[in-house]
Structure 1
Amino acid sequence: MKNKQQMSLVVLDMAGTTVADGGLVEQAFDAAATRLGEDPATMIDYVRATMGESKISVFRHLFGGDEQRAQRANLAFEEAYGELVADGRIAPVPGAAEAIAQLKDQGRTVVLTTGFARVTQDAILDALGWADGLVDLTLCPADAGGRGRPYPDMVLAALLRTGAVDDVRQLVVAGDTSYDMLSGVRSGAGIVAGVLTGAHDEAALKEHGATRVLSSVAELPALIREYEGEYEEGEG
């Protein structure tokens, strides 16, 4: 018999999940590499494979642990991405803001997380008009010790900072990348939902732990209701 489970905390990724950036991550990476005299073609496969990871971690790997080069590259990337955002090249995933509003109406706490630095995250939130009141908390890797995904740190920081749940199984994690799925699994979340609006396909999301794969985050409120209903039926 299942126990009733109220999914009280929802942790959502930004780019590719709630924010449609139209490939801006790759464009910003290309621009940053070019500005630094690097060849982006030699690095792009790794960048694609590690979508969702903290960007400074990506650059540390690419430059073999050379911290100075990694920091320069990360700064150039954040600047290039910020320029694209300022140019109006970003929009919400259709239905994302409405889904967040539904989740909050259902009494859930909603947190947005990202692999970007805080300055870029804030630029995105400002550009979308999401800076005030849309969600309960926003987190970047630096807010949770600096490691970012695929570690569970941001998800667990959301739990600790909001105090919304007392059991990790009451967590919902949703994202568009393999690393989003890994961070959800490693946090112990009851629902780890992949969405198909971003970087990785259904096979990759399931391979890395997705318990469900959705066409869009717009489907998430209904999925959570369905999941909770299964527990209620089990009690009966």
Structure 2
Amino acid sequence: MTSNATDQPHVILVPGYWLGAWAWDDVVPALKEQGLDVEAITPSGLDEQDPNRKNTTLQDQVDALQALVEQAGGDVVLVGHSGANAAVSTVTDRTPQLLRRVIWVDSGPMPDGGAFAPELPQDIEELPLPDFDTLGQQASLEGLSDGQLKTFRARAVPEPAGVARATVSLTNDRRHSVPTTLICCSLPSNQVLELAQARHPMFAAVNDLIDVQIVDLPTGHWPMWSRSEDLANAIAAAALAS
């Protein structure tokens, strides 16, 4: 049954590159059934109806997400998947006092000065979803059905290049103290921790976390489709953890 408790956190689900709020369609109902107040968002620049979306910057995504966190007024759980880590890391840096927890879905916090594709030529305006052979070499497609891949292809929106080029600026050490959960999918947690300890750029910031919980959910890079119920259960457990 759905709970009406007022002490439930406000959970904001932020999808990665090429995705909108629709990416969480199989997760949101399961979270609501567990009594959580849930909001799945479409990051700035990922709404295909936005005529200015190609000009979207990381700052635009950060400002929009920060506004939602501030509007909630506190006790927010931010859930960031994949390339959402730039915006989620920055908002965590700006508003750590408003966050109950940050949950990373096959992702992790970015370090100060990090960037997804800093060398991307300036004449490139957007990054379309690659063909699946190419994408599969970059991120695991394990567990995705033909139907899910077709939906992914049909609904994917090119990522604004300005978001990918942007460098993350982080200045508030309080971000390290925000309770954090890593849901490890395409890489097992022991490998993630080894990479973090080796200061691999993708996971180096994990070493700075003071309160971190790790959950293994073996599947591909898009668990919201391949293991949606299990992902919802993992998010709910983390969100409700004290």
Give yes or no for TM over 0.5. Answer: no
Structure with greater helix share of residues:
1
Give the number of the structure with larger relative contact order, counting CA–CA contacts within 8 Å between residues 6 or more apart: 1
TM-score (structure 1 length as normaliser): 0.35
TM-score (structure 2 length as normaliser): 0.34
**Bigger Rg, structure 1 or 2:** 1
